Amino acid sequence: MIVDRLYKNVEKNGHVCLGLDTDYEYIPEWFRNKFSSKGEAIFNFNKNIIDETLDVVACYKVQIAYYEALGFEGLKAYSDTLKYIRQKGSIVIADIKRGDISKTAQMYAKGHFTGDFEADFVTLNPYMGVNDSIEPFLNYVKNNEKGLFILVRTSNKGARDFQYIKDAQNKALYETVGEKLNDLASENLGHCGFSSIGAVVGCTNNEEGIALREKINKMFLLIPGYGAQGGTKDDIKNYLIKGNGAVVNSSRGILLSYKKVENGDKIFAKCARNEAIKMRDDIRSCL
């Protein structure tokens, strides 16, 4: 299963998931001026960063919105980025956060697990129900080496608007969602003991995190919130099981690390590598 590959990547390369949420404005001017289109510049910027970081990150996450915003040329850069990551032997998460009823979900599954936009994992929103939003993707999980990261508890401030609403038993909505998904994950375990049906869980709120991890102990985690959003290595530690079971995303912190270095724009990919290593070693130091 794809989760076994991801588990091994974490063992070998550490826990960093490098987010290629690439805004055209992030690209150093001298580099983007080499190309005739924004899409071409974005793909080649990504390509340079991928080449420099393959051996120090566990996987890559590509947020589709940054590419959709540029229209056709952006979507070509998105497709080319996904293909390049997979050609290089790494794992790519398509951050698409889809969540719709059954037939539409079937088309989303086909569109992002086959063809021009094929990825290894996709992110999903479960709030229209498991049978509608999740079920159409499961055949790809079971038979086509694909995986899911499903929103359970996110790290943004707005998460409290709905995810923390309590029921009559004083259980938060995110807990109910997590428990239901963990049951589904338990039916689809890899050799590593985790499922290819994973969860997106923000790394802040320590005590909540410990309790939640106990309830979703079969789910591999995609963790946002490290660094700029306040999450630390000590927060991350609470979500790991025997030092594994999660990848931790960083996007702008790595992509824009060259801005912290004198003349760093000339070596932006090397700066990204150094920042990824720094993050990798920071997380490993708490184990």
Which are the catalytic amino acids? 97
Start-to-end CA span in the chain (Å):
26
HSE (side-chain half, CA atoms, 13 Å) at 128: 16
The rounded distance, in Å, linking the Cα atoms of 22 and 97 is 17
- DSSP class of residue 151 equals E
Distance of CA 235 to the CA centre of its chain: 17
| CA–CA distance, 202 with 52 (Å, rounded to integer) | 27
Query: Which are the contacts of 67, defined by CB distance < 8 A and separation ≥ 6?
Result: 39, 42, 74, 75, 77, 78, 81
